[in-house]
Amino acid sequence: MEKSFIASRKFTLHDQQQFAKFSGDLNPIHLSDEYARKTPPGRAIVHGINSLLWALDVFLISGNDILDQLFVKFLQPIYLDETVDCDYYPDTQLIEISNPEIVFLRLKLSGSRCADTNHMSYSKSMAQLELSDMNFSDIESLENIEFTQSADPSYVKDLYPGLFAGYGCSLVSQISYLSSVVGMQAPGLHSIFVSAALNLKKKNNVQSIEVIKTDPRFSLVDLRVNTADMEAKLRAIVRPMPIESLSLTALNKKITKRFAAGKRVLVIGGSRGLGSYTVKILALMGAAVTFSYARGVRDAELLKKELEDADINVNFVHFDVSEPNFCELFDSEPDYVFYFATPKIFVKRSKVFEQELYSKFKLFYVDTFETILEKCASGSAKGVFYPSSVAVVDETKALPEYIQAKLEGESLCKEYDNRDDLTVLVSRLPRTLTDQTATHLTIESEAPFDVLMPIFEELL
């Protein structure tokens, strides 16, 4: 299918901040890496409507006409500072935003040429929206949502010069408002924008937002939004709320043996997920624990404080696999090392084996881990734990790059097990419910304590 290249760009944090001021969509998943790292994307992502308006803007500037029926799918999140291209397929009237491997947005044009709408009706009144924090059951009980104009039309000229020249401020502002409907109102904080169907020729006397359908199986919400110059049907997902780990009190009640007392333990990647559970449980059992973090210093500080409030002291150290400081990592001269360092696993990917993605997994699960094993074999360590996954025997092979790297890590463990009196324990862990594995889908997950305790009993 023949395509025509239109434009290329990177969306920066400044771009996001400007769009947030324009649209009124202040959802932190678009503005804060610290917040976004605990969401499914793992990093701050571009507002879907911002990417849609950019595509329409450069499409118009390149000499094409915008039609009055638009259907857009937000297929994958666009991360900040990654290069994306906008292309047009004239035979099918399709616009795509993509890179060489991934299609992020697909926009289908149909209908007639969109009429000019240079009037300024949308700018008469604006208000700042409060960020709603609803779960799926809250949204199921809704029928109508208050329509509050939150977009500031003064931003249109600078952000989308082509659209400003062709359509003025009103219609562009109305489209931008859809971002706030999903990102601020329903679902609000815990939203993922899936798709939008826009009828740009429908005029409405009454501006309204209504919930027209919900599907609890997939946490889907369908909305109808009527603005002055269009009707929009939106689809969004209610993403899972952050998972809170068990409190120290609750964990302590589960512990019946204190066999870790007096042992020096290093937990690499201990600020989140199973790593943080390992830190808590072993510290409660009397071990002297040091853990590492890569990006989440705030998470590390909070974990240390939680234990300090219970009169338990732990230490943490920064350790980044891309710039490793092995000497500082092993200052505590650990007896046992638990290796939970990991990149984001469930990432956007194409249908072919991606060498770059495999190399990233290999850096974590093979290359860096082998140096860890060398340090352990030549140092004070008696045992090392390597968490593999039941995914390595997944017949669907949905994550081939991850699976290959994990299997190579397992082979390394066999090479080093019992070398220089070092025990290397491998366990293929089931899916375990932590802040790193939360999903909007209903997937059976094991409790972290039940998964970890047999490992501690075998290794320590």
Type of residue at 68: D
Which DSSP symbol is given to 453? H
The order of strands in the sheet holding 383-389 is 315-318, 288-293, 264-268, 336-339, 383-389, 423-429
The position carrying tokens 């082998």 is: 370
Copy the structure tokens of residue 23: 């649209």
Copy the structure tokens of residue 77: 């999140």
| Sign of the four-CA dihedral 332, 338, 340, 341 | positive
What pLDDT shows up at residue 347? 58
What pLDDT shows up at residue 440? 42
pTM of the model: 0.75
Containing 274, the helix (H) or strand (E) segment is helix 273-284
What pLDDT shows up at residue 441? 43
**Residues whose CB is less than 8 angstroms from the CB of residue 110 and which lie 6 or more positions away in sequence, other chains included:** 67, 69, 71, 93
Q: How crowded is the C-beta side of 84, counted as CA atoms within 13 Å?
A: 26
CATH homologous superfamily for the domain 248-459 = NAD(P)-binding Rossmann-like Domain (3.40.50.720)
Q: CA-to-CA distance for 9 and 78, rounded, in angstroms?
A: 11
Comparing CA positions, the residue from 207, 251, 192, 270 lying closest to residue 441 is 192
SS3 string, 221-266, reads: EEEEEEECCEEEEEEEEECCCCCCCCCHHHHHHHCCCCCCCCCEEE
Residue 363: exposed, middle, or buried by beta-carbon count in 10 A (0-12, 13-18, 19+)? Answer: middle
Q: Which residues does the chain have with pLDDT short of 50?
A: 120, 437-442
Q: CA-to-CA distance for 122 and 112, rounded, in angstroms?
A: 23
* pLDDT tens digits, 319-368: 999 899 999 999 999 999 999 998 877 655 566 788 888 999 999 999 99
Per the CB < 8 A criterion, the answer to whether 223 and 233 are in contact is: yes
Residue 173 dihedral angles phi and psi, to the nearest 5°: -65, -40
Q: CA-to-CA distance for 80 and 43, rounded, in angstroms?
A: 8
Copy the structure tokens of residue 447: 């409790």
**What is the DSSP annotation of 424-449?**
EEEEEEPPB-STTT--SS----B-HH
> Hey, which CATH number is domain 4-238, 3.10.129.10, 3.20.20.70, 3.30.450.20, 1.10.1330.10?
3.10.129.10
What pLDDT shows up at residue 90? 95
**In the chain, domain spans:** 4-238, 248-459
